[in-house]
Amino acid sequence: MPCHICVTCGVQHAESDRPPAACSICEDERQYVGWGGQRWTTVPDMAGRYRNQLDDQEPGLASLRTEPHFGIGQRAFLVQTPAGNLLWDCLSLIDEESVAALAERGGIDAIAISHPHFYGTCVEWSAAFGDAPVYIHRADAPWVMRPSSSVVLWDGEAAEPLPGLTLVHLGGHFDGAAVLHWPAGAGGRGALLTGDTIQVVMDRRFVSFMWSYPNLVPLKPEQVTAIASRMAGYDFDRMYGAFEGRSVLGDAAAALSRSAERYLKRMGAGPGGLEGRRGA
Ligand SMILES: [Zn+2]
Ligand SMILES: [Zn+2]
């Protein structure tokens, strides 16, 4: 039986004879059902019409995105470390060419996904690389549309899917939303792969924070304060966001704190914003 992929969010659902009646991820207020109604595809249907583009970002880090644009249009990342390779976030299309390209770089030892919008076909990516574990925060377990024994639900505030890589639970955009801290990135100054809960914006000196991006629903000020405070314990010079070109390529930790300050100020959180709250 095929596993259907929602055309709007790109998330693959459990196998079923007929397409599911609805996509829970798109019916959620944070997303939307495609304007033409709920539509589905499958990996075999996508083959030949789409391809995955692999781009080097820096030594040890490559991005992967589907062309032409599909679903939400996010990029995934291959992080190479001496302890193994991690696929951060995921895509909907998996094909022989992409599997071969990643295999050439040492394959995938673990997969970790920032939040439900980017689950893609993670179960198939896992299967293509020896049933690599797929790390998903337990708070987002209800959003796993294709259950699998490869899914590892992690709890608490941090996890280490491979030695030297830390998943940091931030919440916000989704209760289980997480980022990936790669201390060896940016030439040893550290890099943060942010998914959606920290969003690198068009002015790439800043990030922002939303509960829903397509429907423009902001996070509460206290959630933004919590995200910035939580990240204050990590060093990173670069932030790689979920979308093409959306990266902060220097002094990224400062970019995160000044972005939180700006957000709180615009939300009327008062002078002192973050600092005042930290001291409180
Ligand atoms: Zn969907
Ligand atoms: Zn999202």
- pLDDT digits over 6-23, tens only? 999 999 999 999 999 999
**For residue 274, what pLDDT is reported?**
54
CA 57 to centroid of ligand 1, rounded, Å: 29
CATH number for the domain that contains residue 70: 3.60.15.10
Q: Cα–Cα distances in Å, from 221 out to 139, 171, 172, 241, 261? A: 21, 13, 10, 21, 10
137's tokens: 């925060």
CA 241 to centroid of ligand 2, rounded, Å: 11
CA 126 to centroid of ligand 2, rounded, Å: 21
CA 168 to centroid of ligand 1, rounded, Å: 25
User: What is the reported pTM?
Assistant: 0.95
Asked whether residue 193 carries a pLDDT value surpassing 50, the answer given is: yes
| 138-155: average pLDDT | 98
CA 120 to centroid of ligand 2, rounded, Å: 12
Q: Measured between alpha carbons, how far apart are the two ends of the chain, in Å?
A: 56
Q: Pick the ligand that lies closest to the CA of residue 13.
A: 1
Q: Which residue has 């007929």 as its token pair?
A: 18
Which of 74, 99, 13, 3 has the alpha carbon at shortest distance from 42? 3
Q: Which amino acid is at 194?
A: T
**For residue 269, what pLDDT is reported?**
78
- pLDDT digits over 89-111, tens only? 999 999 999 999 999 999 999 99
- Coil vs helix vs strand at 187: helix
Q: Pick the ligand that lies closest to the CA of residue 195.
A: 2
Q: How many domains are there within the chain?
A: 1
Q: Pick the ligand that lies closest to the CA of residue 194.
A: 2
Q: How big is the chain by its Cα radius of gyration, in Å?
A: 18
Q: Pick the ligand that lies closest to the CA of residue 72.
A: 2
CA 130 to centroid of ligand 2, rounded, Å: 28
**Element of type H or E holding 24:** helix 24-27
Q: How many residues does the chain have?
A: 280
Spatial strand order in the sheet of 191-195: 158-162, 165-169, 178-182, 191-195, 238-241, 247-248
- pLDDT digits over 31-81, tens only? 999 999 999 999 999 999 999 999 999 999 999 999 999 999 999 999 999
DSSP classification of residue 47: B
- Do residues 5 and 121 touch, judged by C-beta distance below 8 A? yes
CA 71 to centroid of ligand 1, rounded, Å: 8
**Element of type H or E holding 257:** helix 252-266
| 136-143: average pLDDT | 98
CA 156 to centroid of ligand 2, rounded, Å: 21
Give the structural domain span for 195: 3-279
